């Protein structure tokens, strides 16, 4: 296959979860033609195909040979199974995963990654424009066409190699999942002690607003960075009944203190 250019127009979507739903809708809005949607189950395949008015399939053998692009939007650990089952290795293909190497698509002549850095949730709306999209490809011209597609839906598009993207994914886990968990723990401590958990919100949003204009390390306050041993010891004692939370409290406090001494 010696395509000179990679005009993307007709697309098959593989997967029918949160990412494929959001991505199909926005691509269709931007005049891309979603021809078919694959899902393992008839029910979810139909649900998405009804939504965007296209064909649905539950057998990867039925993937069209006439499209310009396959987009894989399935869970990370089934990407390799999906890849194995696709017959036509000449169709350009991309996956949308943060933590999967582009080499998982190595059997395909033209391959790429199209990773939207966001946590998608069926219940909560998110505007694609603000979502950074990270691209990678083995083919320069195909990358140009992917860049065109990405820029139609997002204001923030950049190229990252697979290792960088995997570190970005770790970094997203810290900034999103782990910050969220800190707030979970905070709220559960309040609830256990009969304190309205809303009380913590102004402090939380003040903390986040500071991060809008400052590096996080500079914004740090609290007993750990001051190495306020008396307060830390008191907190550890109060958390005695919950050894797991106590362990996290101590590890993060140590890390805050070490960061201060390493970096400032």
Contact 95, 37 (CB under 8 A): no
Choosing from 35, 52, 55, 225, the residue that interacts with its own copies (CB under 8 A) is 225
The answer to whether residue 107 forms part of the interface with its own copies (CB under 8 A) is: no
Contact 42, 58 (CB under 8 A): yes
Cβ proximity to its own copies: between 55 and 239 the closer is 239
Q: In the chain, what is the straight-line distance between the N-terminal and C-terminal CA atoms, in Å?
A: 54
The answer to whether residue 151 forms part of the interface with its own copies (CB under 8 A) is: no
Angle formed at CA 203 by CA 201 and CA 205, multiple of 5 degrees: 70
DSSP 8-state secondary structure symbol assigned to residue 100: S
Cβ proximity to its own copies: between 55 and 168 the closer is 168
72-91 residues near its own copies, rule: CB under 8 A: 75-77
What minimum distance in Å lies between the beta carbon of 91 and its own copies?
26
Separation of alpha carbons 194 and 117, rounded Å: 37
Piece of 34-42, 56-64, 70-78, 145-153 that binds its own copies (CB under 8 A) = 70-78
Find the helix or strand (DSSP H, E) in which 216 lies: helix 216-219
Q: Where are the alpha helices (DSSP H) in 53-178?
A: 79-85, 140-153, 162-172
Piece of 4-12, 48-56, 85-93, 226-234 that binds its own copies (CB under 8 A) = 226-234
Separation of alpha carbons 47 and 37, rounded Å: 10
Among 72, 126, 120, 122, smallest CA distance to 97 is for 72
Cβ proximity to its own copies: between 62 and 167 the closer is 167
Choosing from 199, 240, 241, 243, the residue that interacts with its own copies (CB under 8 A) is 199
160-189 residues near its own copies, rule: CB under 8 A: 160, 163-164, 166-189
The answer to whether residue 159 forms part of the interface with its own copies (CB under 8 A) is: no
Choosing from 28, 132, 138, 152, the residue that interacts with its own copies (CB under 8 A) is 132
The answer to whether residue 241 forms part of the interface with its own copies (CB under 8 A) is: no
The answer to whether residue 5 forms part of the interface with its own copies (CB under 8 A) is: no
Cβ proximity to its own copies: between 148 and 182 the closer is 182
Among 123, 82, 93, smallest CA distance to 11 is for 93
Q: Report the 10 Å Cβ neighbour count for 129.
A: 10
Cβ proximity to its own copies: between 141 and 178 the closer is 178
The answer to whether residue 224 forms part of the interface with its own copies (CB under 8 A) is: yes
């Amino acid at each position: 296959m010696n395509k000179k250019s990679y005009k993307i127009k007709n697309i098959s979507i593989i997967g029918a979860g949160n990412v494929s739903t959001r991505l199909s809708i926005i691509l269709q809005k931007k005049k891309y033609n979603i021809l078919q949607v694959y899902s393992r189950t008839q029910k979810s395949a139909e649900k998405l195909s009804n939504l965007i008015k296209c064909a649905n399939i539950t057998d990867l053998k039925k993937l069209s040979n006439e499209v310009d692009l396959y987009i894989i939007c399935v869970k990370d650990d089934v990407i390799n199974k999906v890849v194995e089952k696709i017959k036509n290795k000449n169709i350009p293909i991309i996956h949308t995963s943060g933590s999967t190497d582009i080499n998982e698509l190595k059997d395909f002549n033209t391959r790429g990654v199209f990773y939207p850095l966001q946590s998608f949730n069926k219940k909560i709306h998110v505007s694609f424009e603000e979502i950074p999209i990270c691209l990678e490809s083995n083919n320069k011209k195909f990358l140009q066409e992917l860049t065109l597609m990405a820029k139609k839906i997002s204001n923030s598009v950049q190229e990252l190699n697979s290792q960088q993207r995997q570190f970005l994914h770790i970094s997203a886990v810290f900034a999103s999942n782990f910050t969220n968990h800190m707030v979970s723990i905070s709220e559960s401590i309040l609830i256990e002690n009969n304190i309205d958990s809303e009380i913590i919100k102004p402090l939380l949003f003040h903390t986040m607003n500071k991060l809008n204009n400052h590096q996080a390390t500079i914004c740090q306050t609290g007993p750990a960075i001051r190495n306020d041993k008396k307060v830390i010891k008191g907190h550890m004692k109060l958390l005695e009944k919950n050894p797991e939370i106590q362990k996290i409290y101590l590890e993060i406090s140590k890390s805050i203190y070490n960061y201060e001494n390493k970096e400032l």
